[in-house]
């Protein structure tokens, strides 16, 4: 049988980091086993679902390049089917109408809690067979087995057993005419032929009741795998207040999609000591049964390390589009001097994110130069600085404008003036950037461009003498 997995987010917000990992694991499991990956939008909560959120999730999935073979399917378009299945269940006596108001249910729950018991429905309408078609409180409840227990072998957590006595008759159709989550997922997963249900472990406790619905429907029960949560740095639930949670926020922060995927695949899963995984390696090596049971913390530092790893090792050309996306966001006109590829090559070993790269590259995209006082005092005020700058001014006006040739120019100045490389490079570096820190001096000069470099040298000479 073909393996079919699905990612089924509810569109109540952006795709967050935990959702992205779930999606990745679903995707990987289907890919490795030659199966199919389905995307389904669980939008039955009409209050909280928004079109903007749907779009945000689709965009993020696309950016991460987690392509679905089918979908997106929308639960709101399948109402007829849910109604049909629920009616069948009622007709077969496996579900029934109930008419308590929300307040009555609430009172029932409080009474149970007060008595030190687990809050659950008391089954009042279980066998009353009342058909009050226009009662505004009418819901459909599933008749859960009262005896025995549900056992399933979770691919991550192992064997889980929950007594049916712990479960009550859950509502499968709300009084507003929409199905509830626990019912809609089961109907969908059956109809869509899902063989592996991979989701967050906040659903572990829902699984037994869902299995009972599968059984009542005479459907094959799929395999389950419940992923542990991703916590923040402090070990608390990830929240917007303490950390970035949206996948697209990480994009804005300058992370690469495959770096995020690589980080996520290693969060809760490993393959020996391997840290770096290409897409192909992830696909061939990942196995949902190897995923750890314990929750893990999200560590941006390690993500940053991976991000830099990819900045350093990817083909620079392949980074251009994403880099220019950031340049534009920063208000820089792309397409002018210097070429993005050259900037990337010069900076990729010095930054962890594309956002930082843009920050550092700004000195090459405009004539504005701020002079760092310490840098000026230390490297332009010395006795040698004017000579170095004058010599550079002459040689730079003539030479071929390529890093290798520029390197030759620096060496020539050093030889001529009998100075060490440091004495030559630092004044020039300050002249080019106004600071003491930049890529290699030849790259720095190259990226500045000849006209601008000469202007900056003049300015530096003035400063050196002033």
Partner RNA sequence: GCUCCCUUCGUCUAGUGGCCCAGGACACCGCCCUCUCACGGCGGGAACACGAGUUCGAGUCUCGUAGGGAGCACCA
- The span from the CA of 60 to the CA of 15, in Å, is 7
Per CB under 7 A, which region of 126-134, 168-176, 252-260, 277-285 contacts RNA? 168-176
Name which position in 73, 178, 255, 310 contacts RNA (CB under 7 A). 178
Of the two residues 237 and 240, which places its CB atom closer to RNA in the complex? 237
Strand partners, 297: 231
- The span from the CA of 249 to the CA of 231, in Å, is 17
Name the strands in the sheet holding 4-7, side by side, starting at the edge strand that comes first in the sequence: 70-74, 36-41, 4-7, 196-200, 223-227, 149-154, 158-163
Name which position in 119, 193, 316, 386 contacts RNA (CB under 7 A). 119
102 near RNA, judged by CB under 7 A: yes
Nearest to 372 by CA among 360, 361, 380, 364: 380
Residue 240 bears catalytic tag: yes
Strand partners, 154: 158, 224
Of the two residues 334 and 359, which places its CB atom closer to RNA in the complex? 359
Name which position in 132, 312, 329, 402 contacts RNA (CB under 7 A). 312
171 near RNA, judged by CB under 7 A: yes
Name which position in 3, 54, 79, 204 contacts RNA (CB under 7 A). 204
- How would you classify the pairing of strands 149-154 and 196-200? unpaired
Residues in the chain, total: 466
96 near RNA, judged by CB under 7 A: no
- The pattern of x and - marking residues 424 through 443 that bind RNA according to CB under 7 A reads -xx--x------xxxxxxx-
Window 182 to 201, contacts with RNA (CB under 7 A): 182, 201
402 near RNA, judged by CB under 7 A: no
Name which position in 34, 148, 218, 235 contacts RNA (CB under 7 A). 235
51-59: long-range contacts (C-beta < 8 A, 24 or more apart)?
A: 51/11, 53/11, 53/12, 53/13, 53/14, 54/11, 56/13, 56/14, 56/15, 56/246, 56/248, 57/9, 57/11, 57/14, 57/15, 57/19, 59/248
Q: What is the closest distance, in whole angstroms, from the C-beta atom of residue 112 to RNA in the complex?
A: 8
Per CB under 7 A, which region of 89-97, 316-324, 366-374, 423-431 contacts RNA? 423-431
Q: What is the closest distance, in whole angstroms, from the C-beta atom of residue 335 to RNA in the complex?
A: 26
Of the two residues 84 and 122, which places its CB atom closer to RNA in the complex? 122
DSSP string, 404-460: HHHHHHHHHHHHHHT--HHHHHHHHHHHHHSSS--S-HHHHHHHH-HHHHHHHHHHH
Window 23 to 82, contacts with RNA (CB under 7 A): 42, 44-45, 48
Q: What is the closest distance, in whole angstroms, from the C-beta atom of residue 23 to RNA in the complex?
A: 14
Nearest to 58 by CA among 29, 23, 34: 23
Q: Residues 273, 274, 277, CA angle at the centre, nearest 5°?
A: 165
Q: How many residues bind RNA (CB under 7 A)?
A: 88
Of residues 118, 237, 240, 293, which has the active-site annotation? Answer: 240
Window 127 to 166, contacts with RNA (CB under 7 A): 137, 139, 157-163, 166
Name which position in 58, 79, 105, 334 contacts RNA (CB under 7 A). 105
415 near RNA, judged by CB under 7 A: no
Window 243 to 282, contacts with RNA (CB under 7 A): 266-270, 272-273, 275
Name which position in 2, 145, 422, 462 contacts RNA (CB under 7 A). 422
Q: 222: Cβ–Cβ under 8 A, 6 or more apart, which residues?
A: 189, 194, 195, 196, 197, 214
Window 332 to 371, contacts with RNA (CB under 7 A): 349-350
Q: Which active-site residues does the annotation give?
A: 240
């Amino acid at each position: 049988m073909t393996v079919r997995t699905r990612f089924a987010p509810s569109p109540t917000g952006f795709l967050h980091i935990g959702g992205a990992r779930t999606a990745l694991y679903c995707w990987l499991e289907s890919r490795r086993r030659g199966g199919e990956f389905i995307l389904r939008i669980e939008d039955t909560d009409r209050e909280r679902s928004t079109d903007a959120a749907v779009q945000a999730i689709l965009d993020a999935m696309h950016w991460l390049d987690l392509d679905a073979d089918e979908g997106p399917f929308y639960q709101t378009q399948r109402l007829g089917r849910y109604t049909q299945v629920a009616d069948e269940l009622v007709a077969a006596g496996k579900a029934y109408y109930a008419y308590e108001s929300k307040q009555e249910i609430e009172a029932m729950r409080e009474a149970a809690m007060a008595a030190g018991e687990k809050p659950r429905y008391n089954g009042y309408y279980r066998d009353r067979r009342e058909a009050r078609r226009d009662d505004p409180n009418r819901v459909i409840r599933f008749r859960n087995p009262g005896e025995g227990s549900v056992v399933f072998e979770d691919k991550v957590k192992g064997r889980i057993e929950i007594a049916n006595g712990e479960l009550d008759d859950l509502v499968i159709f709300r009084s507003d005419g929409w199905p509830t989550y626990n019912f809609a997922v089961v109907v969908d997963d059956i109809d869509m032929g899902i063989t592996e249900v991979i989701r967050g472990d906040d659903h572990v406790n829902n699984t037994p009741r869902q299995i009972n619905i599968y059984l009542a429907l005479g459907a094959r029960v799929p395999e389950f795998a419940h992923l542990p949560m991703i916590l923040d740095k402090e070990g608390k639930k990830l929240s917007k207040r303490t950390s970035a949670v949206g996948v697209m926020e990480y994009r804005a922060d300058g992370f690469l999609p495959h770096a995020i995927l690589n980080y996520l695949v290693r969060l809760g899963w490993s393959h020996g000591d391997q840290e770096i995984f290409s897409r192909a390696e992830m696909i061939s090596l990942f196995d949902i049964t190897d995923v750890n049971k314990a929750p893990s913390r999200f560590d941006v530092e390690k993500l940053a390390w991976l991000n830099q790893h990819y900045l350093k090792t990817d083909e620079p050309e392949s980074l251009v589009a994403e880099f220019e996306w950031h340049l534009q966001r920063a208000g820089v006109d792309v397409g002018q001097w210097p070429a993005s590829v050259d900037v990337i090559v010069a900076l990729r070993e010095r930054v962890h994110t594309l956002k930082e790269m843009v920050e550092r590259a700004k000195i090459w995209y405009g004539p504005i130069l701020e002079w760092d006082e310490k840098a000026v005092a230390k490297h332009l005020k010395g006795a040698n600085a004017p000579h170095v700058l004058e010599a550079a001014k002459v040689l730079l006006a003539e030479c071929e404008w390529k890093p290798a040739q520029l390197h030759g120019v620096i060496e020539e100045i050093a030889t001529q003036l009998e100075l060490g490389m440091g004495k030559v490079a630092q004044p020039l570096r300050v002249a080019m950037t106004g600071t003491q820190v930049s890529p290699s001096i030849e790259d720095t000069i190259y990226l500045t461009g000849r006209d601008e470099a000469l202007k900056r040298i003049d300015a530096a000479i003035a400063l050196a003498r002033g």
